[in-house]
Each structure stands twice: as structure tokens, then as C-alpha cells.
Structure 1
Amino acid sequence: MHPPGAVLKDAVERCQGFSATLREPLRRLEVARGRVVLVIGCGDPLLMASCEPVRPWRRYGSFLVGADHVPLLTEHRGTRVCIDIGLAPWAAGEILGEGVREIGRQPVPLEAFLGRKAERLAESLAQARTWQARFSLVERFLAQSRKQTRHPARGEIRWAWEMIERTGGRIAVTALSRRLGWSHRHFVACFRAHTGICPKAAARHMRLVRAARMLAREPDMDLGMVASRCEFADQSHFTREFHRLAGCAPGAYRRFLRIGATSPLTRP
């Protein structure tokens, strides 16, 4: 884990590195968490396939996934080093350009956005011998890109995102628009233009993140209790929302966690 510096502290939700050499494939279920995820990697590629709609496996070295991406299965074997950066969606547009707000729900190779620069980043990552050198490389790239931005996010949208995040998705969209003195329609349109996601979807993902963490931390907690603590109307509502965003019911997700990420799953 690497805490971002002052220039990126408000924009980067997490920055973490992974290094692995695996003889057997490791498979994971990745669900959207309301963040744009930038992965810069070198070594053997990562295989990814979307669950809904089901699509064939594809190879990725460095890539982006949007804040509202479909549930994904990832599989890795061999040797790989990568850095995973979670960006607030409004900040992703500042750092990576306005086009990142329209990437859709499927993974996108990083070279589609950065061209040859993506390859140079991966090559520099492969040459770096320490985690400090790797993190410094990525942080310099992000800070320089942000400094040169032509698409700064509006302060009102940054504030709205912070409120949704701070309340765990439990604040009403109408409450946000009223506090800004904007019409509901104007607020939703402006929010989506700066983040690539509507505020209601952002709130849903915040609640999903909270529920997923609770399922992981409290494996014996009754699902009805999880639904109540995350402020879903009832367990049925919780199950429907979880399945819509994660591609599986919360009980199935919990079983996946118990079995382990190396289980030979074909669907979550």
C-alpha cells in the first residue's frame, strides 16, 4: 500500500502494488466499487471476462475499468507485477482526459487512452527494482498529468461526490441538488458529465461496497442483518440490488469468499 502525496490525496482512493508468481491460476470476482480503476502492469497478462453479459476471456496488461463496470472474473497465472490505483471518477477525467468518463462498462486497454505512453509506463515499471521506485514512477505520472489537465472538475461536483462517499450512499440526490441550489435535472446531468456515472448509481455502489465489506468481515452475520445495517428496505431488496451490481446474490458471494479465490469457478 502507498499513501498518495499531497497533490493526489483528494483524487486517489487507494494505490497498492501486487507481485505474484503462480503455478496454478488464481481467479477472482471483481465488482464495481464506484471508482475508476487504473492498473499498470508488466509480466504475464491478466485474463478478464465479463459475467453479465457473458463475454469471452481477453488478455490485458495495463487497463482501465469504469466506476460502473460489469461484474468481472479475472484470472492470472505466471509472473506479474502491477500497481492498482483507485481514482475518484471526477479526478479520473482530470488526470486521464475527458474521454475516460465515457469508457462504458467494459475494461479498456490503457493504450487506447495513452497510446505509446502506456507501453513506456509498463516498461519503466518492469525496470524498477523496489516498490518505492514503482510507486514514485506512477505518482509522478499521475501528478504531471493532473497538472496539465484541460478538464478540471467543478467544485460543486467534487463536494457532491464527497457527500455521497461520506454518507455511504445514504444521502438523497434531491438533498444534494437542493443544497447546491440546482434543479434535479441540471445536477444529474452535470454530475454525470464530470464523473461518467449518475449520482444514484454512485450511491448504489457505495452501499454495495459497505455490504461487501460486511459480508467479508462478518461471515456468520444473518443476511437480513446485513441488509438492515446497510439500510436496504428488506433482504429481498438487498438481494436484488446486490445481484444487479455484483452479478450474484449476497449468499453466493459469501460462499465464494469462503471457498477461496483459487476455486475453479466459471460464473460467480
Structure 2
Amino acid sequence: MEYTSRVPAPPLDGLIDDIYCLSGVPRHPRLNVPPMPSAHLFITMGGPVRLYDADPDVPPMVLEDGWFMGMRTRRFMIEFPSPARMVGVHFKPWGLSPFVDLPSIELRDRCVPVDGVWGRSVDRIRGRIAAVKTVGEALQVLEDELRSRLVAAPSRGLHLVAQTAGCVEAAWGNVSIGALTKEAGASGNQLAAQFKFHTGLGPKRVARIYRFARLILSIDARRQVDWSGLADSAGFFDQAHFAKEFKEFTGLTPTAYVALRRRHPADKGFPPDNGPMPAE
């Protein structure tokens, strides 16, 4: 399956990591996806995509047409059709907020249909994408739609969250929340409330997810892994804390994760990071 992406032009680049297209026959139809520092928009152009939550009490979801997904606090499994074709958006943790007229906390660990947020629009968007001939044109259709949806006056607190969360992003989560709160000139409760409104999570949880993302991106399964060094550089205070968090995020021990990566090396360019992993 081919992954093609690009970073949108300003000002969208301050809200979005990339706009992408997935197409082709998936090498691994099912992927386990740990919590990563992104909210999502999916527009399906082929068969439905299925999602399975790590929480067994959450029923599986069949995603057709278009869906928003908020920030995740637990892993999920995604199952692609074969062949697959979809376009999507990886929003920064605060990046979805200016495009949807509801608190991001209502999207945490949830998916909602595009038409439930943007009115009856998904058929029009899918029709425009279907009418173009190239992947680049399809990405431009979605970028134009996002640009038209960007609110002129951001809601209260977004600038504060974007600035503070941007510091968390730059430090890959290895940053003092107390120092960030002081720098922001807000109380801890005020900052937490604004983070939850605009990202769906508190600043500590966002930092935790960035810290894990840095760790998972640092692992090279082709070589001997220095777990102690990786854990220390990512800001974990001891090995027990590191092992517990790794198992919570991936469902695997560090040793089992590396063994899986060695059996199934990531395709070049897909996934775009080391987070999604084959579900065996």
C-alpha cells in the first residue's frame, strides 16, 4: 500500500502535520496503532475501514464515507479493505479544534461522522476527490476544503494551547508541565481546562504521548536496542515505569515489539512512523 503525503501551506501547517493518501493492496490488512500525538480526518474512497478499540467494552466501528477521530488515550486496531483508497489528515493535537464547532474532549477516543460535524458535505468532498486524476489533485481538494473551513477568529484559549503544546512537541514531551504553566502565565487548572477543550487531553497526557512517540521513533529493530538509554533519553524515571508504559501503549513488551518489527519490517514510507504495527 502506498502512502503519499505533504505538509499543507500556511497557515494550515501550524495545525496539520500532513495531508495524505493511502492506496493499493495493504501488506498488513490489520495494524495496531498506539496513542500518537494526532487527531484525524478520514475520507474513504473505497470499501469501509474497520476500527477495533483496545477496550473490549467498546464495539467495533465500520467507517464509511468520512470520519473525524479525536486524540487517543489507548491503542486501537485498524483494518483496511483490499484494495484500499482513502485520503486523510493528521492534525496536531490542537489542530482539529479550529475546524469543528465542539469541544475536542467530546472527540477523545471517539469517531464521529464528518456530516455530523460539517453538515451534509462528505458526498460533495468525495465527489470532488473522485473527479480528479492524480493523488496531488486529491490532496489539494482536501486542503482547499480545510482552508475554507478554518475559522477566521480562533476560539478562546487556542493560541495559548498551541503555543504551550508547541513547546511540548519541540521537547518531545520531556518538559516540566510546571515550567510550561509558569511560562504561559496561567494557573495549572486554567491550562488543563484549555488543553482539554482544544486537544481533548490535559497537558500531562499530551506530553506523555509525545514522549512515547519519541521513544518508538528511536527504536531501530535491526540493531541491538539500548533500552536503558532510550528510556532515559525519553524522560522515563526508571525501567519499571518505562516497561509498564510501553506495554500500555503497544500491548507488547519491549522485547516482543522488537521481535515483531524484525519479523515484519516497516515498508519504506509506510507507515510514516514506527507507531502502527502489524496485528498478528
State if a TM-score over 0.5 links the two structures.
Answer: yes
Matched, 1:209 2:209: no
> Which residue in the other structure is 1:158 paired with?
162
Work out whether residues 94 and 152 of structure 1, in 8 Å CA contact, stay in contact via their aligned partners in 2. no
Q: Determine the C-alpha separation between the residues in 2 that align with 1:245 and 1:21.
A: 27
Match of 1:38 in 2: 41
Shift of 1:184: 1.6
Determine the structure 2 residue equivalent to 1:230.
234
Q: Residue 76 of structure 2 is aligned with which of 72, 75, 98? A: 72
Structure with greater proportional helix content: 1
Tell me if 1:50 matches 2:53: yes
| SS of 2:17 mapped into structure 1 | strand
Check conservation: 2:71, 2:107, Cα contact below 8 A.
no
Contact 1:4–1:12, Cα closer than 8 Å, also in 2: yes
Inter-partner Cα distance in structure 1 for 2:75 and 2:170: 24
The CA deviation string for residues 75-101 of structure 1, in whole angstroms up to 9 with x for no partner, is 123222212211123221101222444
> Which stretch shows the higher mean deviation, 243-252 or 86-95?
243-252
Aligned mate of 2:194, from 190, 206, 227: 190
Distance 1:160 1:195, change over 3 A: same
Q: Indicate conservation of the 8 Å contact 1:40/1:83, yes or no.
A: yes
Q: CA deviation at 1:110?
A: 2.8
Which stretch has the larger CA shift, 241-250 or 129-138? 241-250
Supply the RMSD in Å over aligned alpha carbons: 2.4
Which residue is 2:250 aligned to?
246
Residues 1:181 and 1:69: Cα distance change in structure 2 (over 3 Å):
closer
Instruction: Give the alignment partner of residue 112 of structure 1, picking from 97, 100, 116.
Output: 116
Decide whether the 8 Å contact of 1:39 with 1:64 is kept in 2.
yes
TM score, norm. by length of structure 1: 0.88
Contact kept, 8 Å, 2:44 with 2:85, in 1: the verdict is: yes
Quote how far apart the aligned CAs of 1:108 are. Answer: 3.1
Superposed CA deviations along residues 174-203 of structure 1, whole A, max 9, x for unmatched, are 111111222222221222222211000000
Residue 25 of structure 2 aligns to a residue whose secondary structure is strand
Q: Which runs of 5+ in 1 are unaligned?
A: none
CA distance in 1, matches of 2:223, 2:68: 31
Q: Which runs of 4+ in 1 moved over 6 A?
A: none
1:56 to partner: Cα distance: 4.5
Specify which of 21, 32, 57 is matched with residue 17 of structure 1.
21
CA shift for structure 1 position 47: 1.6
The code of the aligned residue for 2:110 comes to: Q
Q: Which amino acid aligns with 2:185?
A: G
Summarize the Cα distance change of 1:224–1:193 in structure 2 as closer, same or farther, 3 Å threshold: same
Map Cα deviations across residues 201-235 of structure 1 (whole Å, 9 max, x no partner).
Answer: 00000011011112256653132232122121122
How far did residue 114 of structure 1 move? 2.7
For residues 263 and 10 of structure 1, the distance between their equivalents in structure 2, rounded to whole angstroms, comes to 31
The residue type equivalent to 1:196 in the other structure is G
Write the distance in 2 (CA, Å) between the matches of 1:219 and 1:102. 42
Q: 2:29 aligns with which of 26, 31, 38?
A: 26
Runs (5+) with no aligned partner, structure 2 = 267-276
Match of 1:60 among 60, 63, 66: 63
Verify the 8 A CA contact 1:165 1:206 in the aligned structure 2: yes
Q: Identity of aligned pairs, percent?
A: 21
Contact 2:39 2:93 survives alignment (8 Å): yes
Q: Please state whether the residue corresponding to 2:12 is helix, strand or coil.
A: coil
* Aligned-partner Cα distance in 1 for 2:17–2:278: 29
Query: Pairwise mapping of residues 77-116 of structure 1 onto structure 2 (< 5 A)?
Result: 77-116=81-120
Distance 2:50 2:220 in 1: 24
